[in-house]
Amino acid sequence: MKKKLISVALGMTILLSFGTGSAFADSKLDKAIDPTIGTEYVGGGVSTNGFDCSGFTMYIFDKLGVELPHQSGSQFSMGTAIAQKDLREGDLVFFNFTGKGLVSHVGIYVGDGKFAHASSSKGVIINSLSQAYYTNGYVGAKRIMSDNTYESAALDN
């Protein structure tokens, strides 16, 4: 019984931190990201055995039927640039934390000012774009999904 209560509490925490306020609650995007929360960071990782940042976005987009390359800089060269104020669920958000090159990290916008990503220190987590660390490293966003793919990803199938 104690394990079941802990599991329910954990599920509610994830639900409240991710699904609430999102047009994608219980969507294909939500259902693809949700089981990956907590997966450890592994450099070069592209599966639930471990992800790096671009491996995570590549894995999630594959679940939505969209092919991405396995490198944040290559992902940044795709799609249409989007202003931060125009972000919608499923847009990719990019950061530079190394000072080298243009992009060193990528995540997926999940709504309500938050994004899911594979953190090198914490694994797959959801953070707020308004946290100083992410605000300071923010490079831009790209819309990768077509409107049809976006609508399909918003549905609960």
The active-site residue out of 53, 103, 108, 144 is 53
**For residues 110 and 138, what is the distance between their CA atoms, to the nearest angstrom?**
16
Is residue 119 part of the annotated active site? The answer reads: no
Catalytic member of 117, 126, 144, 153: 117
Please give the distance of CA 127 from its chain centroid, rounded to a whole number: 10
53 counts as catalytic:
yes
| Measured CA distances, 145 to 11, 66, 120 (Å) | 28, 7, 26
User: Active site includes 70?
Assistant: no
Annotated active-site residue in 28, 105, 114, 143: 105
Strand ranges inside 1-157, DSSP E = 46-47, 50-51, 80-82, 92-95, 105-111, 114-119, 123-128, 138-143
Active site residues: 53, 105, 117
